[in-house]
Structure 1
Amino acid sequence: MSGRLADISARIDTVHKLESVIKAMRGIAASRVQEANQHLQSVRSYAATIGTGISQVLARVPPADERPNGEGHAIVVFAAEQGFAGGFSDRVFDHVARQFDAKDTFFVVGDRGVSEAAERGWPLGWQAPMVSQPALALGLATRLTDVLFERLAAGAFGSISVVHAAPAVGGADIHVDRLVPFDFDRFPAADDGDALFSLSPTVMLESLVQEYVFAQLAEAALLSFAAENEARMRAMIAAQDNTAETLAQMVATSRQLRQEEITEEILELAVSGLAQS
């Protein structure tokens, strides 16, 4: 009996430690979501400024109607970097599978996503780990923008889309946005006679378009980062509930064993007393 009681007590201690780890992971995830939301405001403000610039340049020169050099399609996919996030990456890739051809070229961000793409046999044109903190999202977006436009100019593909999760009530929504060909209809021409250009309007427009795509990729990275950590929070809440239930059952078992042990000791004392009398 004492052996069983010692064993259940040891297991209770282990569950208490696990409960502490789960609470810590939940707290970290919540903090990361809040930090990502703060960075999102800055990125969206920057994108709005670039959009205003595009509208001003379009008043001077119409966008060139250029055919892409390549015929393929590049898909940028933001997935999870770490585990304990439920089926986060599975949902993203299931959505990609419904929307695109597996023969397209995939630019995958997130180690879990890289593994998922390999399992599905999808060709990877580029891969990178997901950022570990929101402040690194701009650097990731810069690298992505550079490699995408470099290969676009070389004719590796003619269009680019980005797929990412975004926080939503009750879970994450999956967003699909087209980056290239660039949708100029979003930016009505707005002539500002006071605007001064140090570059030709054509060169300026090309630069602003690339900068706007950079902002879109940075926003996608931050939204995916926030959605992944929200998924992790939900997973930790579920784990915490399961742990609490398991702990309650083990504590009840421990009390029962302790009561049985006390009862046995009382019986032994009673039997011993009767024998002596």
Structure 2
Amino acid sequence: MAERLAEVEARRASVEELRAVTDAMRSLAAVRLQQALAVIGGTRAYAGVIGGALVQAVGLLAEGPARWPPQDGRGRPATVLFGPEHGFVGAFAERLADSALAGVPPGGVLWVVGSRAAALLEERGRPPDWTIPMATHTDAVTATGRRVAEALYRAAADGTLGTVAVLYGRSAQGGAPEVARDALLPLDLGTAGGNGRAVPPLTNLPPADLVPRMVDEYVFALLAHAAMESFAAENAARLAVLMAARQNIDATLDELTGAVRRLRQEQITTELIELATGAEALQNGIGNTSSVRAP
């Protein structure tokens, strides 16, 4: 009985430690989610501003709006997947991997941002053609977007890549994160960010030099926004998983606490029975001795 009680108490102590770790991870995921949601509006607005400026810059070109990169039949179609860096995201990583595998055309290129997503694709027999780690805090998300933009810009400019789509998670209030897919390249330089202003902007560079720089910045802005959306979705999925884990841990602790109480009560009852039995035996022994010594 004592050994079984000690075993259950040790198990309950282990589960309590697991609850503390889960609470810490849940708090961290909640903080990162709130930080990401606080800046997503800014990344979206920045992409819109750069897109509008690009439209205005293109309007200064003598030949008018164009597409970038030029569609000359070169380059392989590519998909850029922003996925989770770590685990504890439930089925969210699997959904992203399924969407990526279904969306990559034959002969297409798959770029993956996120170690967990890359490992999952390797397990499914489709290793990424290019991969980097995903940011683990909001301050590094835009830097990650910049790395992808620079590599993508070079590949598209030299004709390695043709059409490019971006696949990422998008957090949904009150529900599981959604999988979003946006066309990224080629860019229609005449409608990149909506309609430009009627008044020509003031510039310090010739339009022919300004437009390529604006294209580079606009691609970065779109990728940075997708990365921030993915970062928020990853932490939203992790928060949901950890909240469910906390509920299961609480239920397990309730069961173990009840088991400890029953075992302790059984132990006390057993000890009382043994004490009463011993006292009765002692009393009977004394009574028998007295009867033998009587005259």
The question of a shared fold, defined as TM-score above 0.5 by the shorter chain, is answered with yes
Partner of 1:119: 123
Q: Is the 2:83–2:96 Cα contact (8 Å) retained in structure 1?
A: yes
Partner of 2:292: none
Paired letter, 1:171: A
Q: Which of these residues, 198, 206, 213, is aligned with residue 191 of structure 1?
A: 198
CA contact (8 A) 1:79 1:88 kept: no
Give the corresponding residue for 2:242: 236
Letter in 2 for 1:83: G
**Cα distance in 2, alignment partners of residues 107 and 99 from structure 1:** 12
CA distance in 1, matches of 2:33, 2:259: 39
Aligned length: 276
Q: Is the 8 A contact 2:85 2:115 kept in 1?
A: yes
Q: How far apart, in 2, do the equivalents of 1:63 and 1:119 lie?
A: 44
**Equivalent position amino acid for 2:235 in 1:** N
In the other structure, the counterpart of 1:6 is 6
Residue in 2 aligned with 1:25? Answer: 25
Deviations along 1:94-130, one digit per CA (max 9) or x if unpaired, are 1122333253111101111111222233353321011
- Mind listing any 5+ residue stretches in structure 1 that lack a counterpart? none
Structure 2 counterpart of 1:246, from 252, 274, 277: 252
Equivalent residue in structure 1 for 2:135, among 128, 131, 143: 131
Identical pairs, percent: 35
| Other structure's SS at 1:77 match | strand
Structure 1 contact 69–154 (Cα < 8 Å) conserved: no
Equivalent position SS for 2:177: strand
Aligned to 2:43: 43
Residue identity in the other structure for 1:182: L
The answer to whether the Cα contact below 8 Å between 1:75 and 1:105 also exists between their aligned partners in 2 is yes
CA distance in 2 between counterparts of 1:189 and 1:48 reads 11
Equivalent of 1:215, from 221, 226, 237?
221
1:162-183 residue CA offsets vs partner (Å, 9 max, x unmatched): 1000101310111111111113
By how many angstroms is 1:228 displaced?
0.6
Do 2:171 and 2:177's aligned partners in 1 also have CA atoms closer than 8 Å?
yes
SS in 1 for 2:126: coil
State the TM-score, normalized to the length of structure 1.
Answer: 0.94
CA distance in structure 2 between the aligned counterparts of 1:259 and 1:101, rounded to whole angstroms: 66
Give the root-mean-square deviation of aligned CA atoms: 1.6
The answer for unaligned runs of 5 or more in structure 2 is 284-295
User: Displacement of 1:69 after TM fit?
Assistant: 6.0
**In 2, Cα distance between equivalents of 1:46 and 1:170:** 26
> Are residue 179 (structure 1) and residue 181 (structure 2) matched?
no
**Deviations for 1:206-257, whole angstroms, at most 9, x for unmatched residues?**
2212211101111111111111111111111111111111111111111111
Q: Tell whether 2:65 aligns with 1:63.
A: yes
| Range with greater deviation from structure 2 (45-54 or 251-260) | 45-54
**Rg bigger for which structure?**
2
- Does the 8 Å CA contact 1:58/1:190 hold for their aligned counterparts? no
Structure 2 CA distance for partners of 1:24 and 1:113, relative to 1, 3 Å: same
Q: Counterpart of 2:267 in 1: which secondary structure?
A: helix
Q: How does 1:94-173 map to 2 (within 5 A)?
A: 94-101=98-105, 103-122=107-126, 124-168=128-172, 169-173=174-178
Matched, 1:265 2:265: no
What CA distance in whole angstroms lies between the structure 1 residues aligned with 2:157 and 2:215? 14
Write the letter of the residue equivalent to 2:8.
I
Aligned mates of 1:177, 1:163 — CA distance in 2: 7
Asked if 1:202 is matched to 2:208, the reply is yes
1:228 aligned counterpart, secondary structure = helix
Contact 2:76 2:107 in 1 (8 A): no
Q: Which moved more, 1:109-118 or 1:38-47?
A: 38-47
CA distance in 2, matches of 1:253, 1:208: 67
